[in-house]
Structure 1
Amino acid sequence: MSAPRGGFGLHTAAAVVVANMIGTGVFTSLGFQLESLRSGFALLMLWVVGGVAAVCGALTYAELGSTIRRSGGEYTFLSHTYHPAAGFVSGWISATIGFAAPTALAAITFGTYLSSVFPALPARWLAVGLVVLLSLVHARTHRTSGGFQRWSTTLKVVLILAFCAAGLLFVTGPQDVGVRPSPEGVSSVFSGGFAVSLIFVSYSYSGWNAATYVTGELRDPRRTLPRALAAGTLLVMLLYAGLNYVFLRAAPAEEMVGRLEVGYIAARYIFGPVGADLMGITLALLLVSTVSAMVLAGPRVLHAIGEDYPTFRFLGSVNARGTPGVAIFTQAAISLLFILTESFETILVFSGFTMGLNTFLAAGGVFLLRRRQAAAERSAGGRVAGERSTGGEGSEGDEPYRAWGYPVTPLVFLAVTGWTLAYVLRDRPLEAGLGLGLIAVGLAIYGVTRFVDRWLRS
């Protein structure tokens, strides 16, 4: 899908990145991290290491996205650099656990927080209403969709900054966080507990690649995409480190160990008894932006699949205003099914592994892409123009972005992600096996789809 005249700009693209990343993870994972880590230095380094890996991944994806200028994220990257089957499986994963299930989870969390403050409102139907409302918003025009995403994400950032400021100004008797490196803190960074905790952090950072799902609808993707990915990811890293510092400063670690509601506990120490209700409403508002970003980005994968495979042609249509309405409402239907049945919880257990494998393979594709470009240049005796067909590369005179720090930046991302995947394979074989099983199902569906496509074309 070529970039429309009224497509998304830098502010919207960065807002999609920020909103996709900041969900429930940063407000719930500290309690689990405290079970194995007590050093403030090590706990904050978790978010720095995870952020550096995410920034390296973002810079790598920026090169892929500005070279292969088409919406769809990993679906497009894997189809182009490896094989259509790899892309199809990636799209299959994104359409199920990648977007629809996290959308349902964030929507249910939104409903739960509001329902805890206003018990007369049923949490599940609040979640349903949020998904339906945001799907209608994003199915209208790019201007309406982008405007809502920009303002909701701006509100999210302002609320987080306000919470951090309150944690620094209003806490009486703050805790000693211990952010300076010490022998104990440094050794904790290389411990098994740090490795386990980094898995939670990596999940909290998932979404740094979100702008690549709307590449084909960006204005000037060569410049817009790398700036949006890098700026959005860096901003989130600062917000995450600030939030966790405030949590550790506001509340005793013993009260947060093993607890999900660390935001609520910290708010009680910052604001007093009214803090619970205030934090519930605040988190609900934060999650509106998260659900919105997933409703905006996720359907672009379904739309790209619909453009490429006749079997799913209905997903590739756009409405009179240029937005992929059918794909948006198809993802909404899947999310509503998860909300109403709550079957998504089983999927989320192994989603981190499968999505991590997705991004690992996509980032590795940058090396294949450069090798092919070098071979094409050698055979042509110089720089050649890229293809402008579906999934093609930038045209001559319009050079794609080159990843800053290549090859170190993609290698850093691959090392951190690969280490995490290996750890899951070793210590959580059931979840890893379920993830590999989902990939096998995707391959089977791809085979059936190719057979049906050949029949439809004959």
Structure 2
Amino acid sequence: MAHHKIGWKTAAALVISNMIGTGVFTSLGYQISDLKNTTSILSLWVIGGFLALIGAFIYSELASKFKQSGGDYIYLSRTYHPVFGYLSSWISLFVGFSAPISLAALAMSKYLNSFGLNLGKEFAIAMILIVAIFQSFSLNLSSKFQNIFTILKVIFILLLIGIGFYYAPTVSPNAVSFDSSFTEELMLPAFATSLVYVTFAYTGWNSASYIIEEINQPKKNLPKALFIGVIFVTVTYVFLNFVFLKHATAASLVGKEDVANISFANILGLQHVKWVSCFIALQLIATISGYLWIGSRLSQATAKENKLWSFMAKENKHKIPVRAIWVHTTISISLIFSGDFEVIFTYTSFVLQILATLAISTAFFIKKDELTIIKSKFFYVLPTIFLAFSLYICYFVLMQKPKESLFGLGIIALGIIIFFFDKHQKPND
């Protein structure tokens, strides 16, 4: 029986919906506390997009070299040592895929509360469960569900940008300020810590590489999906943040999570901004769905090679890793009870940055004659740039947010202990 495979459009839809989630609607409030200049704020988003694009190039090469679903797990296990691959799956299970699902579900209830509803954690849990049920049947149903909600997401975001550009600034003075102070701001530690929120908003640029075995003609379709996804998202992010700044005062945005609401209430009035909230909440369904889809495939790839995880390898007759989907669902739900939004946000971003640094470094092990897109030594400049930025971000987050960073490092340490425990579970090895 031939199993349904997805084309580049569904793969690009996955990339877009995994990237556009809570990050772009929440990070500006944290950035504007320290960075007042519009050039420095927008350059954060440009740098984030540039790094994601470099990452997409590198992952296309890694995916065509290894030809196996599982992304970081495969690249790190095969290049360095199984402990690194194991760690990447451990991090992804708890932080990489489950935390963004919890954050998206929590943000959903927050945005819907502008209707005067008092939705809390119960609603967030119900949403995760509904998406998990849709994911559990067949690839065909999963991709239809994913595509419909991604199209909704894209139309809505383009509408937001259109409305924001069409209307003249509604507050005075607004938060847009293009003076020369941005050169000093680029040197601030806060610029580096703001970059970690931005890289979180771009997490997901690598998502299609995790399911290479489910993609039709992956050599051609994977790079196409990654590049189209990343470029679309970068342009969108820069425009969206400009629109948020244009229609709000700096003071009203500082430290706030619902920046879209604050900004659009000034254009549409409090009565109509509720619909913006409603659509932000709706577009987060595609985010939850995308992370659940990709995360379960990564855990399944690990389950095939590790004893403690092996129960997650089982598939239904449509080749859907149902158990892995429900393990991710359970973890996401339990994370909802584990702390406040910004704390989860910071340690998640930090740990994912470390993971991305490790995964990208495997690119130096691709031989020149294995390259398929940039077939020259110039290719190795890309991971070098990525790693330089990545280490710079990690260093400053560790200095500025030691508590959250140490919590993140604790999750990594626990993963190492479990790996060695797991290895002793294999008498037949």
User: What corresponds to 1:236 in structure 2?
Assistant: 233
1:354 matches 2:327: no
Displacement of 1:288 in angstroms is 0.9
Q: Do the aligned partners of 2:314 and 2:323 also contact (CA within 8 Å) in 1?
A: yes
1:93 matches 2:84: no
- Please state whether the residue corresponding to 2:379 is helix, strand or coil: coil
- Please state whether the residue corresponding to 2:137 is helix, strand or coil: coil
Q: Which amino acid aligns with 2:411?
A: L
| Residues matched between the structures, number | 425
2:133 corresponds to which of 123, 132, 136? 136
Displacement of 1:193 in angstroms is 3.2
Displacement of 1:179 in angstroms is 7.4
User: What corresponds to 1:199 in structure 2?
Assistant: 196
Q: Do the aligned partners of 1:111 and 1:125 also contact (CA within 8 Å) in 2?
A: no
1:334 matches 2:319: no
- The alignment's TM-score, normalised by the length of structure 2, stands at 0.92
Identical amino acids, percent of aligned pairs: 33
1:411 corresponds to which of 384, 390, 394? 384
Q: Give 5+ residue unaligned stretches, structure 2.
A: none
Displacement of 1:172 in angstroms is 5.2
Q: Distance in 1 between matches of 2:340 and 2:73?
A: 22
1:184 corresponds to which of 152, 167, 181? 181
1:425 matches 2:398: yes
Q: Give 5+ residue unaligned stretches, structure 1.
A: 375-382, 384-393
Q: Do the aligned partners of 1:222 and 1:401 also contact (CA within 8 Å) in 2?
A: no
Q: Distance in 1 between matches of 2:177 and 2:223?
A: 32
Structure 1's consecutive aligned runs of 4 or more residues displaced over 6 angstroms after TM superposition are none
2:287 corresponds to which of 278, 286, 290? 290
Q: Distance in 1 between matches of 2:30 and 2:394?
A: 19
Q: Which amino acid aligns with 1:410?
A: P
Displacement of 1:227 in angstroms is 1.4
Q: Do the aligned partners of 2:314 and 2:321 also contact (CA within 8 Å) in 1?
A: yes
Displacement of 1:16 in angstroms is 1.3
**What's the Cα RMSD here?**
2.3
Q: Which amino acid aligns with 1:226?
A: P
1:34-433 equivalent positions in 2, closer than 5 A: 34-117=32-115, 119=117, 122-171=119-168, 173=170, 183-339=180-336, 341-343=337-339, 347-370=344-367, 400-402=372-374, 406-433=379-406
Output one character per residue of 1:121-145: Cα deviation in whole Å (capped at 9) or x when no partner. x432322221111112122111111
User: Cα distance 1:106–1:299, how it changes in 2: closer, same or farther (>3 A)?
Assistant: same
User: What corresponds to 2:6 in structure 1?
Assistant: 8
Q: Which amino acid aligns with 1:318?
A: E
Output one character per residue of 1:47-94: Cα deviation in whole Å (capped at 9) or x when no partner. 111111111111111111121111222111111111111100110010
The structure that has the greater radius of gyration is 1
User: What corresponds to 2:17 in structure 1?
Assistant: 19
Q: Do the aligned partners of 1:250 and 1:270 also contact (CA within 8 Å) in 2?
A: yes
Q: Which amino acid aligns with 1:102?
A: P
Q: Do the aligned partners of 2:174 and 2:250 also contact (CA within 8 Å) in 1?
A: no
Q: Do the aligned partners of 1:264 and 1:275 also contact (CA within 8 Å) in 2?
A: no
Q: Which amino acid aligns with 2:392?
A: W
- Please state whether the residue corresponding to 1:446 is helix, strand or coil: helix
Displacement of 1:194 in angstroms is 2.1
User: What corresponds to 1:33 in structure 2?
Assistant: 31
Q: Do the aligned partners of 2:261 and 2:276 also contact (CA within 8 Å) in 1?
A: yes
Q: Do the aligned partners of 1:135 and 1:332 also contact (CA within 8 Å) in 2?
A: yes
- Please state whether the residue corresponding to 1:219 is helix, strand or coil: coil
- Please state whether the residue corresponding to 2:366 is helix, strand or coil: helix
Output one character per residue of 1:25-64: Cα deviation in whole Å (capped at 9) or x when no partner. 2112212222222221111111111111111111111111
- Please state whether the residue corresponding to 2:301 is helix, strand or coil: helix
- Please state whether the residue corresponding to 1:259 is helix, strand or coil: coil
Output one character per residue of 1:338-393: Cα deviation in whole Å (capped at 9) or x when no partner. 23x345855544222211111101101011232xxx6xxxxxxxx7xxxxxxxxxx
Displacement of 1:210 in angstroms is 1.2
Q: Distance in 1 between matches of 2:180 and 2:332?
A: 47
User: What corresponds to 1:387 in structure 2?
Assistant: none
Displacement of 1:105 in angstroms is 1.7
Q: Distance in 1 between matches of 2:133 and 2:57?
A: 32
